[in-house]
Amino acid sequence: MIKKDTPRNKTARVINIFQNTLHQIKETILKNPIAFALFALGILVISGADLAEFIPFFAPVVASPYFPIFHEAHNLLALGLAMYAAYRWQPTLGLAVMFLYIAAHIPYFPLIFSEKPLEMVYIILIAISGLAGIRLIIKMRRIQAEVGKQNLRLDSLYQTSQEMAQSLDLDTVAARALDATLKVLNLGAGTIRYIDEAAQDMVMLTHRGLPTELAQEVMVNPRLKMGEGIAGEVAQSGKPLVVHALSLYTNLVYKSIRNSGFQSAAALPLKVKGKVVGIITGFSYSQRYFTTADLDLMASLGNMVGMAIANSRLFGEVETKGREWEQTFDSVNDGIALLTPDRKIIRANWALARMLNTTPQALVNRYCYNVFHAFDAPVAGCVAASCIALKSPCEMVRQEPNLNNRWLQVRADPVLGPRGELLSIVHTTRDITELKRTEEIQARSLSITESVLNMAQIAGRGLITEDVYGAFAVKLLKLIPFDEATINLLHDTDQVFH
């Protein structure tokens, strides 16, 4: 709702321009009083050159040989001084000089109308040229002013982008974006909300400069539905909204706004790829009228701030997912390392670090063959070499002398690109030393059981022969870990060992 111009507003602007012009002329005179006095005196002298011919007091001056030259050049000098005053100081001052020039020649017109009509035409042409030139200067100064304002807007946008680019934290970016927007648009207070797509409402992200009562009301009710208040209307329409008179605005959610002292408000959508992701609302303690250039600036700020906040939210989500992945990565009991195609470790979890009695950071940028095998060159036939050659998962079990002869189950899985190129290798290591020991114990227990059963069968035969003793000794060696075994028997009659 942008308020249209009325005759009353146009008259007020004209009066304002006239007052500003008088103020600027006054400042010019105060800054350069002597120069301005000499300038005005020069204009009067030049403008009165034509009258000198008709005043007896100036007869000696007119009789001078230099007076004809001065008489012919004084009109051009007046024109030049008027142009200089308009360009150097103020266009209105140049107009005043031209009017002074014309006024000084009015008494001279009846005298030259009959005798020198061409000279009168010449003076009129000089006056018209001066007025036209000053008009061009006014247009040029307006263009320069617009260019200056545009440069100021661009500089404001650049400064805003620089401030928001200094951090990726959502709260920090939102606070800096709001501060920069309020500064650029010359507003006293403001808020930023982001749209919760799941709940289809708007959540308060940050605020600045709100009176205490209004701030408390906002914190009690930080969420607004779509369509509620100024922010809700902007969220639905996707277009900036300007409220010149808050006292006449009926869709207010927070009633304390009416007692806050705010006179005007402006809200702009924060967009990312044409989609509204948030709303920034600013309030002014004085009544504001926003121009088309202000609205364009607001739209640019909305796109910039919207992109910055969207990036911050995305960064926060990625950071959260990263922490969750880190926790999962480090909670796995198997040692995991991410290798480059040349077998350099770029990431390792704590399980692998504890297995190697070090830290994950200490493993980064080291080669796997140096970490596991203490070699300075790749080991032929290792699981990583097979994975690189075949570009497919490979697995092996081996006893590693460099790690106190522990048994390791090692697996390498390739990470391939879209064209089948090897990007990295996921190297997984599991310590199965205890499993191996358990298997050995189970195998030994099975062997002992088998040997005892066989010895019982041999003893049950009741045959005392050398073959039986030999078979018994072989079974006995399976139970007792010795290299040799002998059997000595005590004879019943002579008590002698055989």
* C-alpha torsion sign, points 213, 214, 215, 221: positive
Place 496 in a pLDDT band, splitting at 50, 70 and 90. very low
Structure tokens at 172: 């920090």
Determine the pLDDT at residue 36: 60
pLDDT digits (tens, 9 = 90+) for 264-290: 888 888 888 888 888 888 898 888 777
Number of H helices, E strands in the chain: 17, 11
Looking at residues 137-142, what average pLDDT do you find?
75
Residue 152 phi, psi dihedral angles, 5° rounding = -65, -40
Average pLDDT, the chain: 75
Looking at residue 4, the DSSP 8-state letter turns out to be: P
Are 180 and 190 within 8 A, CB to CB? Answer: no
- Percent of the chain clearing pLDDT 70 (strictly above): 65
DSSP designation for 424 = E
Say if residues 311 and 215 touch (Cβ distance below 8 Å). Answer: no
Angle at 119 between CA 114 and CA 123, to 5 degrees: 120
pLDDT in tens, 400-448: 888 888 888 899 999 998 888 999 999 999 888 888 888 777 777 777 6
Q: What's the Cα-to-Cα distance from 256 to each of 103, 246, 262, 281, rounded to whole Å?
A: 61, 12, 10, 16
* Per-residue pLDDT reduced to its tens digit, 117-126: 666 676 677 7
Which residue, among 101, 72, 71, has the nearest Cα to 86 in the 3D structure?
A: 101
3-class SS at 405?
A: coil
- With pLDDT > 90 as the criterion, what percentage of the chain qualifies? 4
Q: Would you say residue 233 has pLDDT above 80?
A: yes
Classify residue 49 by burial, with Cβ atoms within 10 Å: 0-12, 13-18, 19+: buried
Q: What is the pTM of this model?
A: 0.46
